[in-house]
Amino acid sequence: MEFRIEKRTLAILTGLLFLAPAGFAQQEFQYEAWHGHSRPPHLKRAGKLGALTISASGVSFAETSQHPHIWHWDYQDIQQLKLSPKTLTVLTYQDDKWKLGADREYDFELLSDRTFEDAYPMLKSRLDQRFVAAITTRPADVLWEIPVKHLLRLGGDEGVLRIGEGEIVYSSDQKGASRTWRYEDIENISSSGPFQLTITTFERAKTEYGSLKGFNFQLKQRLDEVRYNDLWLRLNQSKGLKVLSAYRDASAAR
């Protein structure tokens, strides 16, 4: 009898495991968007209206015109996908002849009141570190937060840095400045003192060494050593580094 119950339970669990991905794979998000792709400088605002589709298989765009262009990119063919509330950028591996062989990218902008944020959960689970989430979310478990200024080459923007169990969120009112990073999206963190923190991410940055983009934050409150060490441990444990939990417990007890 016990063996039959175990077999029945196993069958139910197996069925649930197969059903969950199947339902998720059927998710599809469609938007009316403006497409402005790479063009010579004298052809500004080049592009057309069309239907943008985000699904489990990739991203597609079909122009609304008499002779429409239709594109589809499998996720494996996307070098980087950057998502903000109103814009989406697909960076491909294709050469752009107008930019001396630089990688070609396609920009899409929503014209309605909708945002791309409804597609974020699927993209987050579907894509690896090639996904850039330029949006504000709130970690399920906020461990601590600190007001900051994000320093840029000229000036900067202000916001709040929130540290969660599995992600770091920078929230700013400045358009395009917010970010949500999973720990696997972060290459490293560093600090030159209690009022400075740099988060180096896998987001592409052609002007910086190694094409990694660094976010340099000036902290408005002191970041104590215990919190910094805990954050460093969480980041490196997410990369598979085996660190003795006793070290974290000892640090927390200080």
Q: Is a pLDDT exceeding 50 seen at residue 152?
A: yes
Kindly state the tokens that stand for 244: 């003795």
Residue 130 backbone dihedrals phi, psi, to 5 degrees: -80, 0
Residue 214 and residue 147 in contact, taking contact as beta carbons nearer than 8 Å: no
Q: What is the set of domains in the chain, with CATH numbers?
A: 28-132 (2.30.29.30), 142-252 (2.30.29.30)
What letter does residue 253 receive in the DSSP assignment? T
At 59-101, the pLDDT tens digits run 999 998 777 789 999 999 999 999 999 999 999 998 877 666 6
Q: Say what percent of the chain tops pLDDT 90.
A: 63
Measure the CA–CA gap between 190 and 170, rounded to whole angstroms: 16
Per-residue pLDDT averaged across 179-207, rounded? 93
Q: Which helix (H) or strand (E) holds 5?
A: helix 2-25
What tokens appear for 109 in the block? 């902008």
Which DSSP string do the residues of 117-158 spell out, in sequence order? GGGHHHHHHH--TTEEE-S----SSEEEEEEEEEE-SS-EEE
